[in-house]
Structure 1
């Protein structure tokens, strides 16, 4: 599994930086966002370092499916019965700040459309 020694998310996967975990399996880790934009805000990341959504290849299909399934499980476990949003930003103009693929699971309040 590829990692990046300078990536904050890879350091969380390795256990070098603590995080409040909300989900974990063999390929995916979920944890609470340190700067939440809603009452519930978690990040889901693949344990493998992949910088952006544009860096995905066919061999990542199963992992990405697992990431989306995990997002649903996290939302149900968090009690987001009225709904939730799953967001994946790609590159700077879209708001990607950490270059390690991650999905935001956001809920617990009425979310507006279109976003930001």
Structure 2
């Protein structure tokens, strides 16, 4: 399990074409990629399971806790990204609610675009 940041602070200001915004790059793939939004309500949980393919969870809002095989929970919040390798066991839970984007693909290398969370 690895933790990354994709918040505004690590983004790049874009001004081309009279634009005015900040872009935080996340991932690039050449293989089939599944992307979905995950909504966990208060006390929601994604039960303990193995990742069928590499998975990247981007926390958009709320906060929660994640773990892998070690049974130690780590707090995650808006702007955090959690990466699990293929076959890695993991779980996500929240007390207050959490919304995230899940990216699944055989070809995920988040370290190419995002810095590790310190």
TM-score by length of 1: 0.30
TM-score by length of 2: 0.30
Larger Rg belongs to: 2
Quick check: which one's strand share is greater? 2
Quick check: which one's helix share is greater? 1
